Structure 1
Amino acid sequence: MAIDDSLIDDPLNGAGEVAMTIQPQDFGQEPRQPMPDNLKIARGVRLWPIEEIAHRLGVPGEAVEPYGRGIAKLDLSAADAAEEPRARYVVVSAITPTPPGEGKTTTAIGLVQGLQQLGHRASAALRQSSMGPTLGTKGGAAGGGYSQVVPMERINLHLTGDIHAVTAAHNLLSAMVDNHLHHRHACDLDPKNIRWQRVMDINDRALRHIVTGLGPAADGATRQSGFEITAASEVMAVLALATSLADLRRRLGRIRVGYTRAGEPVTADDIGAAGAMTALLKEAIKPNLLQTVEHAPALIHAGPFGNIAHGNSSIVADRIGLHGGDYLVTEAGFGADMGAERFFNIKCRASGMTPDAAVLVATVRALKFHTGRYVVTPGKPLPAEMLTESPEDVRAGAANLVKQIDNLRAHGVTPVVAINAFPSDHPSEHAVIRDIAEAAGVRAAVSTHVRDGGAGALELAQAVADAAEDGSSFHFLYPDEMPLDAKIERIATRLYGAADVAFSPEARRQIDAYQQQGQGHLPVCIAKTHLSLSSDPTLRGAPTGWTLPVREVRLSAGAGFVYALCGDIRTMPGLGRDPAAAHIDIDDNGEITGLF
């Protein structure tokens, strides 16, 4: 199953979805007044001193390392400010999205600002944006409107250089792998069985498949290889899941780069690269502290790919946030069947932290999309007929919302449905979503946080506070001791609605090998399309009776999970016909223009 470049997992927020900017010309209903674009709103914010934001987070001054105006790195000692976490832990997920996304990032930020307006100390923990999607189709990942993190330009272009550090560490290992081949080191690495490519933080389809070592023998061994986007690197997944610098070093050492001619695994430690890789990441493991437009603390750190990795921000950032207030709100990539499932079964396993509440973002447009009656194309306006009042369409697409509510409940967490409101919506359509949520026994709240900031999220904030007070009975979907194939089957049948799983002979062989090597205790990550609960991106709603095809199973030994490839999941996106990069420039005042 080939997947169009425009539908590839974009690691915005590694990190995940387009900023939900509302513009009058994009929607069928006239807004109350014209709304400035994201960049203008962001530049209109008077940044508070980052030390004051750190103080709000409860971080001692000695742990704050200013990094330019409005940004700081936080030393990992900040997590030790209190003996036990004090904040309520809230994860934001969504129903299966339309290609542009449904606004999880803006909802998470708006929720934090709403909680703050209710008098609570709240902070956000979000993934760091990748420049590939920022310069490609989806644009920035700082949120949108009056629910965004600032400074916007810095977040979307380089920030503190963490992604570049991941790129350098990954490519150092690539260089040392090729150096081993060139010098014929004793580990007898098989050049035809190397699983480690190179990475860069730019969309570039021409680098998906390359040949290295062309030229004389002194230029290295000739072999086929390729590039992935940096967010797809296992090093990025390791950075997000590491709990300390020492843990980062251990995980990097376990990364498998390939196999010997005898079939034995070769690791980064075997190559002698893990120590230097850790040194390159010594600063990158420190979370970045910024602020929202309403000066709530925002921890921006790590951006693992949302398909072949867990698609969540870092554990160390969450630990700092949980020590520093009443609520920490984090976001999980894509729908609840993907990002939230991995938050629960991969991230929470690694961190030992468990959520108190969950938010499920739903939009009128997504529910209409799930009727199967409309075609939504990335980068193009929504079909005009999608914007007409139709509570019947909303109800017809409700199966996906009901299923994603069930998917969160499968982990012992009852969600609050956040109705992310657009100007094209109608009250009758919101009423249908409330009815569906009520019938499912969960709270629902309309939120206008993009236009109104925290004031527009007050109803949602109160509903989340009430849900967190109720608490959850969190549990994993499967036990560690369950075999790998059974874990895949559990996710596919319980969360996706599949009737069966079909493993290719190669996938079966790989699973058996990992079980024999003692890796059977690891959690699993299923790499499939994010546009459907199924593995077929054209199937809307909550399809049943289908079979999940698993063609290959790979091990991320450093990150600590096994991932199953279901379909053709590309790890290097391509640029679209009219990429965002073509519209970004510098004006006469030296200001960046064209970011969205």
Structure 2
Amino acid sequence: MRLITEVAAAAGIHEEHLELYGKYKSKLSPSLWEELKDKPDGKLVLVTAVNPTPAGEGKTLTTIGLSQAMNLAGVHTVAALREPSLGPCLGMKGGATGGGKSQIVPAEEINLHFTGDIHAVTSAHNLLSALIDNHIFQGNLLDLDPQRIVWKRVMDMNDRSLRHIVTGLGDGNGTVREAGFMITTASEIMAVLCLCENLQDLKSRLGRMLIGFTYAGEPVTAGDLGAVEAMAVLLKEAVKPNLVQTLEGTPVIIHGGPFANIAHGCSSVIGTRYALKLGEVVLTEAGFGADLGAEKFMDIKCRQAGLAPSAAVLVVTVKSLKYNGGVSKDDLGVPNQNALLSGMVNMERHIANLRKFGVPVLVALNHFAGDAPAEIDAVLEACARLDVPAAVSDVWAEGGAGGLEVAEALKKLLAEEKAGGFAPLYRDELSIADKIETIVTEVYRGAGVAYTPAARRSLAVIEKLGLGHLQVCMAKTPYSFSDQPKQLGAPAGFTVGVRDITLSLGAGFAVVITGNIVTMPGLPAKPAAASLYLDEDGVIHGLE
């Protein structure tokens, strides 16, 4: 690793704008923005993927490797990524810093505590939870109905036993009520942190966050409770983006980590704006497949921040297409041309969906060592039939050099970019129900939506409060276009079941909870934590 001061200098950042966290990590001071704000923006490129499969698609890997390749190809490129969450790192997913010769470093520190941003979000969120219960205990001047408090607690860990709890048990411990925990990355404070423009905007958004309703049914916010300044104090450092590097020294801004199957799944607006001032091209990613992360990137992040992506890179693997063609996870390494051709409908739909936003698409075929040449050729031929540029990426094995083919294709795509092409999918003035319907029919290709009584009550509250202008954040399984994880490929004509709709007024969206989605994940039978160990030299092993 190069010293982070050297990485910063190469990116045009003077040391006076760095707030160092050791030799290899730094926060970027607000003073840097004052120096950069009048510079022209680079071009923003979203890296997304087909629906995730057990073999892994390598979206973060491709983002990192392609950023290295673009720099090798002579285009000054910066990556802007999300922070990994401890829950997935110690659960099923493992680390989220790339792999092979396309990693961000120091990987173990980034995957674990990093600069403490997620811990700060956890503390600020739980401070508000404690203030709510204390307010009720101390006399309840706001007349909060304990049974209509919508603000849960959070922790950055997968723990299914905390999904539903009862608080206040025992004498003198407050009002007994049902409550629960979410994972920190599902916290509205994480979403607010990632969508705010600066510290003042952060405070404004924190103040708008809904915490519950009075006995008379009126909404109560964190601002009403007087909690904003204390939360802002805890988030003072977390609002500053973090600078690290790839194995080849490419600057990477990592900031924020909202889940894409629950929240909006994109790194911070602040970090993206810094990156756009520092690079000719900025590669960023959105979580899970394009039906979730990319849709929310376009419809929520870009809309709120006034950003216009210049292109989208869709990461595809031979294995992911065969899985969507019906091959079991144990047989994905076996050549199967029929399954591959059958599973291509998943890739084709993602391409068509991305084009609906007016953004040109490039397919990056992430190469695995066991991929048969005939299968690779079949994918490239399918892209040619769809008139979509495509190239093979081998950045895991070769680093930036293995991504030069994709880099050259991206350079060509950006050179041909037509101004004013991008547009969100739905209009702000549509009702929440119409926005949900648009996403379900246009992106998922479902036939319609079925609401539970609880969801219909939530729609009525939204209409009563005049909140139809909010964007929609779909909480849905990432594994299928539908709300049923086992419906692979490109299902159509299904009905999406909406269980409930919650309001994230600070983030500016309504969270639509579909299917069996949960906001607190559980651990698998063999958690990744079981493979971790610390050797006698203090070196961490097993965090992959």
After TM superposition, the score normalised by the length of structure 2 is: 0.97
Query: Which of 103, 123, 127 is equivalent to 1:172?
Result: 127
Q: Post-superposition shift, 1:495?
A: 0.8
Q: For residues 58 and 490 of structure 1, what CA distance do their matches in structure 2 show? A: 43
Q: Which residue of structure 2 aligns with residue 402 of structure 1?
A: 348
| Alpha-carbon distance in 2 for matches of 1:485, 1:430 | 42
Which residue number in structure 1 is paired with residue 386 of structure 2? 440
Residue type of the alignment partner of 2:353: N
User: After superposition, what is the alpha-carbon deviation per residue over 1:367-392, rounded to whole angstroms, capped at 9, x for unaligned?
Assistant: 00111x2333xxxxxx1x32122233
What are the residue-to-residue correspondences of 1:365-514 with 2, within 5 Å? 365-371=319-325, 373-376=326-329, 383=330, 385-472=331-418, 473-514=421-462
8 Å Cα contact 1:56/1:121 also seen in 2: no
Matched AA of 2:78? S
Q: Confirm or deny: 8 A CA contact 1:73 1:286 kept in the other structure.
A: yes
Q: Paired residue for 1:130?
A: 85
Residues 145-224 of structure 1 correspond to what in structure 2 (within 5 A)? Answer: 145-217=100-172, 219-224=173-178
2:514 corresponding residue in structure 1: 566
User: 1:450 is aligned with what amino acid?
Assistant: W
Distance 1:426 1:582 in 2: 34
Question: What does residue range 28-47 of structure 1 map to in structure 2 within 5 Å?
Answer: 47=1
Give the counterpart letter for 1:528 in structure 2: K
Match of 1:103? 58
CA distance in 1: counterparts of 2:54 and 2:480, whole angstroms: 11
**2:9 counterpart of 1:55:** yes
Give the alignment of 1:1-400 within 5 angstroms.
47-80=1-34, 81-217=36-172, 219-371=173-325, 373-376=326-329, 383=330, 385-400=331-346
Shift of 1:522: 1.3
TM-score when normalising by structure 1: 0.89
Report the Cα distance in structure 2 between the residues aligned to 1:407 and 1:256, rounded to whole angstroms: 33
CA apart distance, 1:303: 0.4
| Matching residue of 1:590 | 538
Kindly indicate whether the alpha-carbon contact (under 8 Å) linking 2:92 and 2:528 is maintained by their aligned counterparts in 1.
yes
Q: Deviations over 1:534-566 (max 9, x none)?
A: 111111111111111122111111111012111
Stretch of structure 1 that moved more, 85-94 or 157-166: 85-94
Distance 1:240 1:296 in 2: 22
Q: Which amino acid aligns with 1:330?
A: T
Asked whether the equivalents of residues 85 and 319 of structure 1 are also in contact (C-alpha less than 8 Å), the reply is no
Which deviations, in whole Å up to 9, do the C-alpha atoms of 1:308-364 show, x marking residues without a partner?
A: 210010000000000002111000111111100000000001111110111000000
Is contact 1:449–1:455 with CA below 8 Å preserved after alignment? yes
Q: Deviation of residue 584 (structure 1)?
A: 1.4
Aligned partners of 1:79 and 1:316 also within 8 Å: no
Give the direction of change, closer, same or farther, for the CA distance of 1:352–1:77 in structure 2 (3 Å limit): farther
Per-residue deviation, 1:209: 1.7
Q: Distance in 2 between matches of 1:91 and 1:78?
A: 24
Note the C-alpha offset of 1:82: 4.2
In structure 2, how many angstroms separate the alpha carbons of the residues matched to 1:580 and 1:563?
29
Percent identity, aligned pairs only, is 50
- In the alignment, the residues of structure 2 paired with residue 88 and residue 406 of structure 1 have an alpha-carbon distance, to the nearest angstrom, of 22
What CA RMSD, in Å, does the superposition of the two structures yield over aligned residues? 1.3
User: Is the 8 Å Cα contact of residues 327 and 339 (structure 2) preserved in structure 1?
Assistant: no
Structure 1: runs of 5 or more not aligned: 1-46, 377-382
CA deviation after TM superposition for structure 1 residue 224, in Å: 1.6
Conserved 8 A contact 1:405-1:414: no
List gaps (5 residues or longer) in structure 2.
Answer: none
Q: Deviations over 1:106-131 (max 9, x none)?
A: 00001000001111111111110011
How many pairs are equivalent? Answer: 541
